Structure formats: C-alpha cells, structure tokens
Amino acid sequence: MVPHAPKGITFCSSVFDEALELLMETRNYVAHTRSTGAIGATPNDQLEFTCSASLLTALLTDIMAWLLAQRDIAAGHLSADESRSELFRLKGLDFYRSNREAPLGEISASLQELLQRGTHLYERVGRLAAA
C-alpha cells in the first residue's frame, strides 16, 4: 500500500460516474433487447448485434478498469509507477477496431448511439490517460 497519493493525482469522479452510467445503460439495453427478442430480423443482424454489444461492453470495461486504477492512485493504494504497467493501460481504440471488418448486418439506432457515446468517452479517457 502506498502511504500517500502522488501530488497532482486526482480522481475524475464525474468521468467515472458517466462511464458507470453508460455501462448500466448498455446492460439494460442489451437485457431488454434480448428479452423482447428484438435483436435482429436476420441471423446476420443478430450476429452484428452481438458483436456490437460485445465491442461496447469491452470499451466500457476497459475505461472502468483504467478509472478504478486512477482512483486507487488518488487514494494512495497504487503507486504511479505501478499504474504504468501494461495491466493498467487502456488498450486503445485500434485494439478494438483491428478485428472488425465490414458490418455483418444492421443494428438499431439505439445501439449505434450507445456505441458512438462509448467511443467518444473512450477517446476522452484516452486523452486523460495520455496527459
């Protein structure tokens, strides 16, 4: 345990709250969509729904992991040096996009909007991580 947080390290609770809210909104959307059977008209649409929802979940959990590490640094539970390890780094959007080819099917406007918000949040957190 680190006795004191390094000077200049602060925790962005508003970004954490935003990420958690978006993660819960995604979870609720996926659960509702699956329970109503509205995930897609064709097998390709269903596969695209699953791929897109998985991508969004991965982006958001990567954000949450990085933010939790920042919270631990601010609380003095993790040193800044420890936080620089590969374990605590954001993977980067290229990591998530590298295995995606052309869409396999259609997804709803709601899921598209969630993906867009998740991507924008990931970009913002990436700028925080680079600072």
CATH number where 84 lies: 1.10.8.930
pTM of the complete model beyond 0.85: no
E strand spans, the chain:
none
What is the mean pLDDT of each successive set of 10 residues along the chain, which is 131 residues long? 44 86 95 80 86 91 91 86 82 73 80 94 91 79
Segments forming the whole domain that contains residue 22: 13-130
Query: Domain tally for the chain?
Result: 1
State residue 11's pLDDT score.
Answer: 61
Predicted pLDDT of residue 79: 87
Give the model's pLDDT for residue 86: 83
HSE, side-chain direction, 13 A CA sphere, residue 97:
6
Establish if 110 belongs to a structural domain: yes
- Please check whether residue 46 lies inside any domain of the structure: yes
Residue 115: per-residue pLDDT: 93
Q: Which residues, in sequence order, are CB contacts of 28 under 8 Å at separation 6+?
A: none
